[in-house]
Amino acid sequence: MTTMAEFFSGRPSETITRDLLGKLLSYKSPKGLVSGYIVEAEAYLGVADSAAHAYEGRRTKANDALYGAPGNIYIYTSRGYYAFDIAVQDEGEPQGILVRGVEPKDGLDIMMANRPKMGSELTNGPGKLMQAFGITDLHWNNTMLDDSPFEVSLEDKLTPAEIITSARIGVSKRGGQTNAPYRYYVAGNPYVSGMRKRDMNIETHGWLTAK
């Protein structure tokens, strides 16, 4: 069985990000279990990536979690919202994956109480999914997945019929990586941020088999 450390290291971060799509992200919150299948994620390639928090080796108290072992949780704030990132590669190599959207599975009533929105608006963005999960602080930042109430299941998963690659959203315009194609998402899934209604696959949500 593949361990978290093995899954989140030893391969290019772009490959890991693609493979993360369809995996179940769950959180044993104080209100109960909430979870969702990952439908959108972005890779950030560390010191050489001008859009990354660790560009040119920048290391602060705020981004220290990125330098942790593979599978370390990096929670940070952006524009007043919380975001969920996972460190990848070996310890000291600050690459990470931002989870941008999930399709809800467990605890829908809890998520809707945390974030009173209907349909895809519930979790179709990094800040939205964190609000729906009930994450309102940095308590679990810099904690390994295995030592936290979060889990990325490598067994409970769905298979995307097609994965789209694009430029990342809302990243720094400095350097040459602004438009790098490091965003990956499940084609047609309604819970992908910014997905237009005409591009949504309402029948299968972009999975190989209908849910």
Domain membership of residue 209 (yes or no) is: no
Domain membership of residue 153 (yes or no) is: yes
Amino acid identity, position 154:
L
Domain membership of residue 158 (yes or no) is: yes
The enclosing H or E element of 17 equals helix 13-20
Domain membership of residue 187 (yes or no) is: yes
Q: Which residue has the tokens 């928090």?
A: 53
Domain membership of residue 208 (yes or no) is: no
Digitized pLDDT (tens) for each residue of the chain, 211 residues in all: 788 889 999 999 999 999 999 999 999 999 999 999 999 999 999 999 999 999 999 999 999 999 999 999 999 998 889 999 999 999 999 999 999 999 999 999 999 999 999 999 999 999 999 999 999 999 999 999 999 999 999 999 999 999 999 999 988 787 888 999 999 999 999 999 999 999 999 999 999 974 4
What's the CATH code of the domain at 166? 3.10.300.10
Domain membership of residue 207 (yes or no) is: no
Nearest CA among 35, 32, 54 for reference residue 43: 54
User: 8 Cβ partners below 8 Å, 6+ apart?
Assistant: 16, 70, 71, 86, 87, 88, 89
Domain containing 161 equals 4-199
| CA distance linking residue 45 with residue 173, whole number of Å | 15
pLDDT score recorded for residue 79: 84
Q: How many domains does the chain have?
A: 1
User: Is 0.85 topped by the overall pTM?
Assistant: yes
Domain membership of residue 210 (yes or no) is: no
Domain membership of residue 211 (yes or no) is: no
